[in-house]
Amino acid sequence: MTEVVRLALEEDIGAGDVTTEACVPASRKARGRFLAREPLVVAGLHLLREIYDLRGGVDGLTLLHRDGDCAAEGEIIATVSGSARTLLECERVALNFLQRLSGVATAARRYTNAVAGTNCRVLDTRKTTPGMRALEKKAAAAGGVTNHRMGLFDAVLIKNNHIAAAGGVSQAIESARSTGLPIEIEVRTRAELAEALAAGATHLLLDNLTPDEAAEWVREIGGRAKVELSGGITLENVAAYARAGADFVSSGAITHSARAMDISFRLELM
């Protein structure tokens, strides 16, 4: 993750933190605490070491939680000590990563809690912040969801435009077998469903159905293939979709709409 951390530091600090350099003596030492200002699921603390190391390092860094841990309001999640200048110039970048990734982990935990007691697993998607996918998927996993494919390279997901370009459902499935990768295919009509099952599809994607419609389709599939539901799935309705009998539900909101959590950094002189 060093490259994304380096880019974030360069973006913020540029040629130098002019405020800190003007106000704070180079010799001054300080300690800082990262504080959860609301209940959250922690993610991203492992990046703190990289952030500080890229700016010359710190004297001490203690991570009081691990990814996936719950932190209560007012709880200290990490402490750091060293050059006051280093702590100040890294403050915003550190908080940006922690707030964003803890937001993803917290959203993921809410989704997984919502489907507890069903046999359905929640998946994340590729709807991630450019350059942040690996970090956001790690945070989602920390929150309890199952990572879907990382990108276009590690699994086959045949969607409606692929079917159109390939010349049909059967043609797309047969051609994709040559990859040797897991194959999932989206079906939008009963005719496509029948064709996909006849072609040996083992993982189906059903998109933009209501929970009642999804339950009807799942009954028709009857266990002949794994079923993923997607499209319009939110925290408010994910339990209804899970109860429809699907094996998986996927929601882009876990990553693309996660709210940054309220985490503060408190500094004091040593």
Residues serving a catalytic function are 92, 127, 159, 186, 207
What is the token pair recorded at 236?
A: 């408010």
| d(C-alpha 127, C-alpha 224), whole Å | 29
**Amino acid symbol at 162:** H
Rounding to the nearest 10 degrees, give the CA dihedral for residues 156, 158, 163, 166. -10
**Amino acid symbol at 171:** Q
Is residue 104 a contact partner of residue 56, using CB atoms and an 8 Å limit?
A: no
Is residue 65 a contact partner of residue 5, using CB atoms and an 8 Å limit?
A: no
Helix H or strand E encompassing 161: helix 160-166
Q: What share of the chain is helix, strand, coil (3-state, %, to 5)?
A: 40, 20, 35
Side by side, which strands form the sheet with 60-63? Answer: 60-63, 76-83, 29-36, 263-269
- Kindly write down the DSSP assignment for every residue of 177-234, as one continuous string: GGG-S-EEEE--SHHHHHHHHHTT--EEEEES--HHHHHHHHHHHTTSSEEEEESS--
User: Which of 183, 193, 188, 249 lies closest to 220, judged by CA?
Assistant: 193
